[in-house]
């Protein structure tokens, strides 16, 4: 989805990308005004730099011409392409015979699907063309389609078509701590943001939030002269149809009150909610606590001898007991130390035995720490509940580390199980202490799942590689050793493979993977650290 700015200014035109399908050889350019000229417009892109990033991606991967009409016709008269063609950032439509009009418009259609966010349609089309090229032994074309397909699948959901129709809408978002509330409104007129307002309540009245919001809408539009065609809300309101009829009568034509669950309108509501949160914090001067204060509070909650400067967290991941792995992540003074992350392949536990896997990994970790005389953490955090906590404690007791503080945070209920306590702790959901340990727990989970998926991909790829006639265990290991990863083997050209397996077998490998769906890159993930960013 286009990322919308959390601090929109009134009357400012944000950048769009314009696809000039009204020209013989269309291009994509960045503009700040939408005109009725037969072109397609996508956006808005916020921050503005995002438009430049998407434009660069289009020129790098799809290679539509970036030049003006004047430059285009200059090189057409010269009969040779410019530097952009030489560096593979343009298809060279300016030179007749270099790249046909039909082929160029095929790329234009791909770009349109890309910008409209129709990734499934684009991926299906690219895969069909890739397979066709492979059947016709056009390996270079098949490789290009394969690379484009990889880009499309990696990016996932992309930019959506902007609200370019002349629909007037009011978009509301809110933020509340249960007692106070900030409501943010921005108005769109003819597809452009033209205004913003915020409202505050020091003390919410008792009752349902939907009922309160319904009362606010009635008061707001009763006092004003203008009613938009559409009112977009963050949640359902009481008597929605009654309010719609009243607003429609006031306007003299139909008015819709909607609570979108997905799509661009939902993104706009999310933007308004971000603005409401910022306004809430500014109005009520919400201060985020210093990390030292959070760690001191964590020590108090867990009855630790000192604030836990170093926290080590574990999680186990598998699929129905197969490819069991575990993760270790490290947090020092509230910042994640990625250089100290470790992953483990579970060796002795039975398939699907989460407790046994956790017991094994915790034992391996701290047996090594003791053997190398390294300092122990101030707190061990486990992703799980009471059973996982006991498994970790058993491993530590075997190493005579029974005094090491251990806690386990269970998902969904967010109950905190602590060694020595009969009942779990229930922390306030707004507590910075809970936010910190949730962030660490979730990072351990992400790291374990990422490693598990990579192991599965490697296993599946190895099986697929062995299915190619002429590739046995020895050649498979040779390729993995020299290319370093399964993704690189998939992307390799005949020239790159030839030194290791010969010309004929290299062509067979390239043809095989050109006709099959490419693997995705290993997921790196983007952490959401709540109040604090990890190092």
pLDDT bucket at 530, cuts 50 / 70 / 90: very low
pLDDT bucket at 409, cuts 50 / 70 / 90: very high
Would you say residue 157 has pLDDT above 70?
A: no
Averaging pLDDT over each range in 140-144, 363-367, 520-524, which range is the top one? 363-367
Q: What average pLDDT score do residues 466-480 get? A: 82
Q: What average pLDDT score do residues 99-106 get? A: 86
pLDDT bucket at 113, cuts 50 / 70 / 90: confident
Q: Please report the pLDDT score of residue 226 as a whole number.
A: 76
Q: Please report the pLDDT score of residue 245 as a whole number.
A: 94
Q: Please report the pLDDT score of residue 158 as a whole number.
A: 36
pLDDT bucket at 401, cuts 50 / 70 / 90: very high
CA atoms of 364 and 392, how far apart (whole Å) = 11
Q: What average pLDDT score do residues 407-411 get? A: 91
Q: Could you report the per-residue pLDDT of 312-353, keeping only the tens digit for each?
A: 999 998 776 567 889 999 999 888 888 899 999 888 878 778
Phi, psi of 332 (to 5 degrees): -120, 120
Q: What average pLDDT score do residues 469-473 get? A: 84
CA atoms of 191 and 208, how far apart (whole Å) = 33
pLDDT bucket at 462, cuts 50 / 70 / 90: low
Averaging pLDDT over each range in 258-262, 327-331, 408-412, which range is the top one? 327-331
358 contacts 324 by C-beta, under 8 angstroms: no
What tokens appear for 20 in the block?
């000039």
Three-state SS letters, 318-356? EECCEEEEEEEEEEECCEECHHHCEEEECCCCCCCCHHH
Q: Please report the pLDDT score of residue 472 as a whole number.
A: 84
Would you say residue 13 has pLDDT above 60?
A: no
Q: What average pLDDT score do residues 33-56 get? A: 75
380 contacts 362 by C-beta, under 8 angstroms: yes
Q: Please report the pLDDT score of residue 6 as a whole number.
A: 29
pLDDT bucket at 405, cuts 50 / 70 / 90: very high
Would you say residue 242 has pLDDT above 80?
A: yes
Q: Please report the pLDDT score of residue 460 as a whole number.
A: 60
Would you say residue 519 has pLDDT above 80?
A: no
Averaging pLDDT over each range in 64-68, 111-115, 392-396, which range is the top one? 392-396
Q: Please report the pLDDT score of residue 534 as a whole number.
A: 30
201 contacts 181 by C-beta, under 8 angstroms: yes
Of residues 206 and 124, the one with the higher pLDDT is: 124
Q: What average pLDDT score do residues 28-50 get? A: 76
Would you say residue 8 has pLDDT above 90?
A: no
Domains of the chain: 16-117 (no CATH), 169-283 (3.30.420.10), 292-450 (3.30.420.340)
What tokens appear for 156 in the block?
């996932």
Would you say residue 532 has pLDDT above 50?
A: no
Of residues 416 and 83, the one with the higher pLDDT is: 416
CA atoms of 62 and 453, how far apart (whole Å) = 30
Angle, to 10 degrees, between the axis of helix 494-501 and the axis of helix 503-514?
A: 130
Q: Please report the pLDDT score of residue 35 as a whole number.
A: 80
Burial class for 527, CB neighbours closer than 10 Å (0-12, 13-18, 19+) = middle
Would you say residue 159 has pLDDT above 60?
A: no
Of residues 485 and 15, the one with the higher pLDDT is: 15
CA atoms of 56 and 65, how far apart (whole Å) = 12
Q: What average pLDDT score do residues 255-267 get? A: 87
Burial class for 438, CB neighbours closer than 10 Å (0-12, 13-18, 19+) = middle
Q: Which of 220-234, 344-358, 425-439, 459-473 has the lowest mean pLDDT?
A: 459-473
Averaging pLDDT over each range in 4-18, 79-93, 248-262, which range is the top one? 248-262
């Amino acid at each position: 989805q286009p990322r919308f700015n959390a601090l929109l200014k009134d009357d400012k035109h944000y950048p769009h990308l314009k696809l000039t399908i009204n020209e013989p050889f269309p291009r994509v350019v960045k503009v700040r005004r939408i005109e009725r000229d037969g072109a397609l417009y996508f956006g808005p892109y916020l921050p503005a730099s995002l438009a430049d990033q998407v434009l660069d991606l289009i020129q790098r991967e799809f290679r539509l011409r970036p030049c003006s009409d004047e430059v285009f016709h200059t090189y057409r008269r010269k009969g040779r392409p410019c530097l952009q063609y030489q560096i593979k950032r343009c298809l060279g439509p300016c030179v007749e015979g270099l790249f046909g009009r039909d082929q160029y418009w095929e790329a234009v259609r791909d770009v349109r699907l890309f910008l409209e966010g129709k990734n499934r349609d684009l991926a299906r089309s690219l895969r069909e063309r890739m397979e066709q090229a492979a059947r016709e032994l056009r390996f270079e074309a098949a490789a290009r389609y394969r690379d484009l397909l990889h880009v499309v699948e990696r990016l996932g959901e992309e930019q959506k078509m902007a609200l370019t129709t002349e629909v007037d809408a009011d978009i509301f978002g809110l933020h509340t701590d249960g007692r106070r509330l900030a409501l943010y409104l921005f108005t769109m007129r003819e597809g452009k943001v033209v205004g913003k307002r915020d409202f505050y309540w020091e003390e919410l009245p008792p009752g349902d939030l939907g009922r309160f919001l319904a009362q606010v809408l009635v008061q707001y539009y009763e006092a004003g002269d203008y009613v938009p065609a559409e009112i977009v809300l963050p949640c359902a309101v009481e008597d929605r149809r009654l309010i719609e009829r009243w607003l429609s009568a006031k306007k003299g034509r139909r008015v819709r009150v909607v609570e979108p669950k997905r799509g661009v309108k939902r993104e706009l509501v999310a933007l308004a909610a971000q603005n409401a949160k910022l306004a809430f914090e500014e109005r009520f001067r919400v201060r985020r606590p210093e990390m030292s204060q959070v760690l001191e509070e964590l020590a108090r909650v867990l009855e630790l001898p000192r604030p836990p400067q170093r926290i080590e967290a574990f999680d186990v991941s598998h699929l129905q007991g197969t490819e069991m792995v575990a993760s270790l992540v490290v947090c020092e003074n509230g910042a994640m130390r990625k250089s100290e992350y470790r992953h483990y392949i579970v060796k002795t536990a039975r398939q699907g035995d989460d407790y046994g896997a956790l017991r094994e990994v915790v034992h391996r970790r701290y047996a090594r720490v003791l053997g190398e005389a390294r300092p122990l953490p101030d707190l061990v955090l486990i992703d799980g509940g009471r059973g996982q906590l006991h498994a970790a404690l058993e491993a530590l007791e075997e190493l005579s580390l029974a005094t090491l503080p251990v806690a386990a945070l269970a998902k969904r209920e967010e109950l905190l199980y602590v060694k020595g306590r009969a009942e779990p702790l229930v922390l306030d959901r707004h507590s910075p202490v809970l936010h910190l340990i949730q962030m660490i727990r979730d990072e351990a989970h992400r790291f374990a799942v990422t490693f598990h998926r990579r192991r599965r991909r490697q296993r599946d790829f190895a099986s697929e590689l062995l299915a190619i006639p002429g590739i046995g265990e020895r050649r498979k290991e040779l390729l993995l050793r020299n290319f370093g990863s399964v993704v690189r083997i998939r992307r390799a050209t005949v020239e790159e493979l030839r030194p290791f397996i010969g010309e004929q077998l290299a062509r067979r490998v390239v043809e095989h993977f050109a006709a099959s769906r490419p693997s995705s890159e290993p997921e790196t993930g983007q952490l959401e650290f709540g109040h604090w960013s990890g190092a």
